[in-house]
Structure 1
Amino acid sequence: MTLTLMIQGTTSDAGKSVTVAGLCRVFKRRGLSVAPFKPQNMALNSAVTPEGGEIGRAQAVQAQACGLLPHTDMNPVLLKPNSDTGAQVIIHGKALSNMEAQDYHAYKKRAMVAVLESHQRLCEQYDVIVVEGAGSPAEINLRANDIANMGFAEAVNCPVVIVADIDRGGVFAHLVGTLDLLSESEQARVTGFIINRFRGDIALLQSGLDWLEERTGKPVIGVVPYIHDLHLEAEDAIDSRQTLSENAIKVVVPVFTRISNHTDFDVLRLHPQVDLKFVGKGEAVPPCDLIILPGSKSTRRDLEYLRSNNWHKDIEKHLRYGGKVLGICGGFQMLGRAVHDPDAIEGDAGSTTGLGLLDMETALGNDKTLRQVSGHLWAGKAKIRGYEIHAGISTGPALDTPFADLGSHRDGARSADGQIIGSYLHGLFDESETRDSLLKWAGLYGVETLDYAEVIESNIDRLADCLEANLDIEALLSPLTRPNKAQ
């Protein structure tokens, strides 16, 4: 009998993703077969599954916590914003179309069918499904046809635990206000609260916990302390924390308006020999060894944004002084002579002049490339592994000098002087051999190898240890019931 538990939050970034990841590992330790699930995710950080589908990056991390490979059923609806009012809609791992907010709102009933199909398939395979909500269930304007929070919980008849972040302040108002804004049936399925990121003496919080339980009639299942230096790949927010050694190489990443898969740089941020800096609107690119142009969901718009910040001039100066430049996916496309979008895939139809640093052009098309790949770098035969998520095809003489040999095809390009590299591969730095080679290319000597896979595993275990020590796990498991298949 499959058990489903849903974790919702009072706000975005309340701790839903990490709570689900930690609980997945806790339940796995108890001998349960467990899978993560997020009905609807809105994020520009995505992962490619082995079968060639696209899901939110957080669900890939949660799958790892379960000891599973990621699957499209773990995140059946993914929304990738490409403007302030529109997004690419991805159903069961494949791009459906671009929709404005009003159009998607009307589409939600059909999207719910996909959500319930995926949930049912997971129920047929696993003992426990741990579900992550999105944003907050108290967003009144989004209640109609909701598929991300209580709408899903009501459809499958599962219990809900609400998480709030005390580090932000106002935790009691967040929890009481969220509960009060729910309908009676929704309130009834809330089985308790988790207070996240607490710092200080728990005794000083006790009177507030007692008041909360008396006021709401709901138990506090636990208070999770602030876990210092916890690293799990973020769903959206860019984490800039790092600890450096004295001989660190300087790497700068300009932050585009639609930056995608900035998790590519998490391993660099964690590397003690890499001083990683993100620069944003109005900031100049400081002197550095390596500039990395990241992926973008709207390459042409972000090319214009790059120029509006005069980053193209910073890049030209950087190259004159012998610095290195790496472009990844959309950043790779920007390095060419032009980016063409005749079918309005990422915005208005048209063409935008590129940086002209590589002799190539890119044409965006309706067919989206989604695949995991592996092979070797152009020099030294260092192993490379990553994943492709792009709608463009690049052509031109620059591709005759590729970045990598992936067996079935060659990837990327290198400039004749060796200063510029472009690649379509996300996750470039996760493989230690590739990372070490690229850091040496950028000018770092005496590279220390970092086992990134072990870093992720150890952090998932740290998180699970913390949840086991501070949550009433039996209280979480006790109200779980089998979803109603008839619904």
Structure 2
Amino acid sequence: MTRAIMIQGAGSNVGKSMVVAGLCRAARRRGLSVAPFKPQNMSNNAAVTADGGEIGRAQALQARAADLAPHTDMNPVLLKPETDVGAQVIVQGQRFATMKAREYGSRKTELMPCVLDSYHRLAAAHDLIVIEGAGSPAEVNLRAGDIANMGFAEAADCPVVLLGDIDRGGVIAQLVGTDVILPPEDRARITGFAINKFRGDPSLFAEGMATIAAHTGWTPLGILPWFDEAWRLPAEDVLDVATRKGGAIKVVVPRLNRIANFDDLDPLAAQPDVTVEIIEAGRPLPADADLVILPGSKSTIADLAHFRAQGWDIDLQAHVRRGGHVLGICGGFQMLGREIADPDGIEGPVTRAQGLGLLDVTTTMTPRKRLALSNARFDSTGDPVSGYEIHLGDTTGPDCARSWLTLDGRAEGAASADGRVRGCYIHGLFAADRFRAAYMAAIGAPLQEMAYDAGVEATLDALAAHLEAHLDVDLLLSLAREMPARA
């Protein structure tokens, strides 16, 4: 029978996603058929799946670690924030509704049958399911109707391992406090614990491990030192893209409020000769940028207003006058045009907005979302590109006659007359080594040779080895329980 184990965190951003990816690769290397599963995720950084839906990009990376193609069953509920109080709800890969937080809180129990359907379909095909929680089970105010942490663990009857983050301090209180505040039936599901992001000599925390075990009765599984190579893996949070400084070639990216699908930046950030600089609100766009990338957005018109409020429109015009290059991808492509029209109010009350005017195109928002894996070609060199589309809206205009990609046999993208400003709808372009080298060479920024995908695979292997060296993986996997028969 299929076995399952759930990794929950004593807080947000404790490293659950990375640990699940490492466990998936470690289990795969042991000959197990393993699949990742996250009942509910919240992220605008989505991946398009072969079955025509979308899931959180962290689950796509975990699928890769398990040698699987991403599938919508791996993340049946995805929340994509559109405002500070509301989000688009994606269920089994497709748009279900747009809800305010309070409405979602009252209705999320409706989604448990879909979550369990996806879970059981995965289980029918694999030996082991490694489940990732969301946030922390200590948020007991959210326990009623929970589908992300203990509510799911109860419904699926699976054991839990709790992960603590020592880097932020107070890890003993994180773990022991979680034990104290949980109701008895939830507390009983936690069978083991581990510490993540340790810096220094792990033996110095031996007494801390003993203290946690004595107060909770949980099995200690080990102390994971900080994994220095994590930056080589696709980032779930845009701030993780720029955790290292690279070389002299500078790629500048304005941080939009609803930035989405920024995985386009990962291969550039991995280049040793490139520095990807994320520009936060209130800072000007640097004058020495080789390339400015306008990334995707979940709320294009609102993010365009935010862009202007920072004065970035003026900075971008100056960058172009200096002979600089600009690339807009998806929402960024739409912003570069003359106008964005949203006659049906899909994005909100503003139904028409003037664009940045750097491309002679206009965009009209339409209710139909385009979700597709795509194979394209860079027209100037013939180099192949594999990527994906995930957007609302159709873009047309004179500059589309200067398309620079061929996508599934049709013209894609637009360019200014001098070729310095370009836009397209395809995400994932820069993961193609030959395209990345050709594009950057064309803007006068030649790159060192680098095999991006091979680097990601090598880093996943290194992550699995890191877990094997510092966690008792055998013991952790032995805690996984056989799943009960489906009712």
How high is the TM-score relative to the length of structure 2?
0.97
- CA distance in 2 between partners of 1:123 and 1:186 (Å): 23
**Residue 347 of structure 1: how far off its partner (Å):** 2.1
Q: Which position in structure 2 is the counterpart of 1:82? A: 82
**Residue 275 of structure 1: how far off its partner (Å):** 2.1
The answer on whether the counterparts of 1:81 and 1:87 sit within 8 Å (CA) in structure 2 is yes
Superposed CA offset, 1:282-332 (max 9, x none): 000111111110100010001000100010000111111100110010000
Within 5 Å, give how 1:252-331 maps onto structure 2: 252-287=252-287, 288-331=289-332
Q: Which position in structure 1 is the counterpart of 2:225? A: 225
- CA distance in 2 between partners of 1:342 and 1:42 (Å): 28
Paired residue secondary structure (1:386): strand
Q: Which position in structure 2 is the counterpart of 1:192? A: 192
- The reply on whether 1:416 has 2:420 as its aligned counterpart is no
Q: Which position in structure 2 is the counterpart of 1:377? A: 378
Paired residue secondary structure (2:481): coil
- CA distance in 1 between partners of 2:413 and 2:103 (Å): 36
The answer on whether the counterparts of 1:343 and 1:349 sit within 8 Å (CA) in structure 2 is no
Bigger shift: residues 457-466 or 343-352: 343-352
Q: Which position in structure 2 is the counterpart of 1:151? A: 151
- CA distance in 1 between partners of 2:78 and 2:410 (Å): 28
Q: Which position in structure 2 is the counterpart of 1:11? A: 11
The code of the aligned residue for 2:345 comes to: A
The answer on whether the counterparts of 2:235 and 2:266 sit within 8 Å (CA) in structure 1 is no
Paired residue secondary structure (2:135): coil
- CA distance in 2 between partners of 1:461 and 1:274 (Å): 24
Q: What percent of counterpart residues are identical? A: 50
The answer on whether the counterparts of 1:242 and 1:270 sit within 8 Å (CA) in structure 2 is no
- The reply on whether 1:242 has 2:244 as its aligned counterpart is yes
Paired residue secondary structure (1:241): coil
Structure 1 residue ranges without an equivalent (≥5): none
- The reply on whether 1:171 has 2:171 as its aligned counterpart is yes
Paired residue secondary structure (1:161): strand
**Residue 234 of structure 1: how far off its partner (Å):** 2.5
Structure 2 residue ranges without an equivalent (≥5): none
The code of the aligned residue for 1:127 comes to: D
**Residue 407 of structure 1: how far off its partner (Å):** 2.5
**Residue 243 of structure 1: how far off its partner (Å):** 4.6
Paired residue secondary structure (1:478): helix
- CA distance in 2 between partners of 1:137 and 1:233 (Å): 26
The code of the aligned residue for 1:293 comes to: L
Superposed CA offset, 1:415-459 (max 9, x none): 1111110011111110011111221122113x3221111111111
The code of the aligned residue for 1:351 comes to: R
How high is the TM-score relative to the length of structure 1?
0.97
Q: 1:87 to 1:138 in 2, by over 3 A?
A: same
**Residue 410 of structure 1: how far off its partner (Å):** 2.1
Superposed CA offset, 1:234-265 (max 9, x none): 222522133534xx222110000001122221
Extract structure 1 runs of 4+ deviating beyond 4 A: none
**Residue 395 of structure 1: how far off its partner (Å):** 1.6
Paired residue secondary structure (2:455): helix
Q: Which position in structure 2 is the counterpart of 1:20? A: 20
- The reply on whether 1:483 has 2:476 as its aligned counterpart is no
Q: Which position in structure 1 is the counterpart of 2:430? A: 429
- CA distance in 2 between partners of 1:143 and 1:442 (Å): 53
Q: 1:464 to 1:192 in 2, by over 3 A?
A: same
- CA distance in 2 between partners of 1:302 and 1:482 (Å): 47
The code of the aligned residue for 2:88 comes to: Q
- CA distance in 1 between partners of 2:28 and 2:127 (Å): 10
Q: Which position in structure 1 is the counterpart of 2:342? A: 341
Q: Which position in structure 2 is the counterpart of 1:118? A: 118
**Residue 384 of structure 1: how far off its partner (Å):** 1.5
Q: 1:424 to 1:53 in 2, by over 3 A?
A: same
- CA distance in 2 between partners of 1:373 and 1:213 (Å): 50
Q: Which position in structure 2 is the counterpart of 1:470? A: 470
The answer on whether the counterparts of 1:293 and 1:328 sit within 8 Å (CA) in structure 2 is yes
